[in-house]
Amino acid sequence: MDDYSPRSLRDASILPRSEVIKTGSEGAAPLVSIVFAVLAGLCWGIGEVFTKSVLHTREIGPITAIAVRSTVALPVMWGVWAALVAGRKMEPVKFWLADSGTLLKLALGSGLIAGAGGMLFFYLALSFGEVSRIKPIAFSLAPAIAVMLGVLFLSESFDWRKGVGVALIVGGVIVLATSKSGNETASPKEADAVLEESSIG
């Protein structure tokens, strides 16, 4: 039987073991997780600036942008899966044999709600507002909600540090949401035009 314990997955890491620091008693994040988080932030930040630039032209609507994004990303992600999962066995290969409840949560939560719903609303927001405002609101509110839901439904720990972090996030979202925009956002007529173009396209 294949071993997919945390130790096994750590040993299969695509980075040298020297890049990972020991975790403390509180479960301090390994250096590799910080590196990946920074890279993810760079990719999202740069990518969404391009996306906002495209949507600003009014030649491509937000729904089309999401469809193109998913189409381009899909073969790349399955290529990564083939190399690291099917090839190096970093994760269980036969994921389709997982419990039906697990698969349902994956499809509904990760696929439908986060993948489709989250991206749809995010791209619609980008088409009407500034990326410097929309992205911080969306990507800071998400972890705050995740912390609260994790405590309520996953029995995760909650201490004063997490409480302060969530409070700061919510405060930052309020400041961004109520601040005046440096540039005028789309007028009601422009917004209706974008939605109409998206639905027709």
Report pTM.
0.66
Q: Show contacts of 42-49: CB within 8 Å, 24+ apart.
A: 44/135, 44/139, 45/135, 48/126, 48/131, 48/135, 49/131
Nearest to 77 by CA among 122, 29, 54, 110: 110
Domain ranges of the chain: 36-129, 131-179
CA 137 to CA 176: how far, in whole Å? 7
Residue 16: per-residue pLDDT:
47
Question: Tens-of-pLDDT digits for all 201 residues of the chain?
Answer: 555 554 554 555 555 444 444 444 444 557 887 888 888 888 988 988 899 889 888 899 999 999 999 999 999 999 999 999 999 998 999 999 999 999 999 999 999 998 899 989 999 998 888 888 888 888 888 888 888 888 898 888 889 998 998 899 889 888 888 877 655 445 545 555 545 554 554
Q: What is d(CA 189, CA 1) in angstroms, rounded to the nearest whole number?
A: 61
